[in-house]
Amino acid sequence: MKTAVYPGSFDPVTNGHLDIISRASRIIDKLYVAVLDNPSKTPLFTAEERVQQLKQILKDYDNVEVMSFSGLLVDFARSVNSNIIVRGLRGVTDFSYEFQMALSNRSLDSDIETLFISADTQYLFFSSSQVKEIAYFNGNIDNMVPDLIKEQLQKKMKKY
């Protein structure tokens, strides 16, 4: 059985991330969506909130499980008996960072392989950071995130 880990901050999850999850879940038997819980960062949504959002959004995927992790990604991958890391690529600007990360992970664990999946063209131009900025200024994020995230972003932004 082929298992893989799709890690990220997912602060918040975007339709681009969901496109990668959908594509990966078709070629991998079991996909772990791994939400980074990094105490040294201050995300907009807590790790618990991000896990709950993803669980809700991905509830119809039988072969996808959402978990949080802290520490090294390779250690998390080992803990779920997986040696495949899935990452999405939006274009050449993502490539150097992603390539460096793939090689770092391989240097930490030589069994690890990174599988790059290209995002669909409609998702190439935005990121979680841009979604947050647009939401902060009440811009239209309808095509960028699921409704659940849109509602939760609007609630969060009211507190600021």
The residues annotated with a catalytic role in the active site are 17, 41, 90, 128
**Minimum distance from CB of 63 to ligand PNS (Å)?**
21
| Residues forming a β-bridge with 34 | 7, 67
Reduce the DSSP state of residue 147 to 3 states and report it. helix
Q: What share of the chain is helix, strand, coil (3-state, %, to 5)?
A: 45, 20, 35
Instruction: Verify binding: residue 4, ligand PNS, rule CB under 6 A.
Output: no
Q: Do 33 and 58 meet the contact criterion of CB atoms below 8 Å apart?
A: yes
Instruction: Verify binding: residue 8, ligand PNS, rule CB under 6 A.
Output: yes
Interactions with ligand PNS, residue window 89-108 (CB under 6 A): 101, 104-105
Rounded Cα distance, 61 and 77, in Å: 20
Of the candidates 2, 27, 72, 81, which one interacts with ligand PNS according to CB under 6 A? 72
Instruction: Verify binding: residue 9, ligand PNS, rule CB under 6 A.
Output: yes
Interactions with ligand PNS, residue window 116-145 (CB under 6 A): none
- x/- map, 16-55, ligand PNS, by CB under 6 A: --------------------x-------------------
Q: Do 24 and 127 meet the contact criterion of CB atoms below 8 Å apart?
A: no
C-alpha distances in angstroms, 68 versus 50, 65, 73, 75, 93?
9, 10, 11, 13, 27
Strand locations in 40-150, DSSP E?
64-69, 84-89, 113-118
Q: Which range of residues in 5-13, 39-47, 57-65, 139-147 is near ligand PNS by CB under 6 A?
A: 5-13
Instruction: Verify binding: residue 12, ligand PNS, rule CB under 6 A.
Output: no
**Minimum distance from CB of 87 to ligand PNS (Å)?**
7
Binding interface with ligand PNS (CB under 6 A): 7-9, 36, 72-73, 101, 104-105
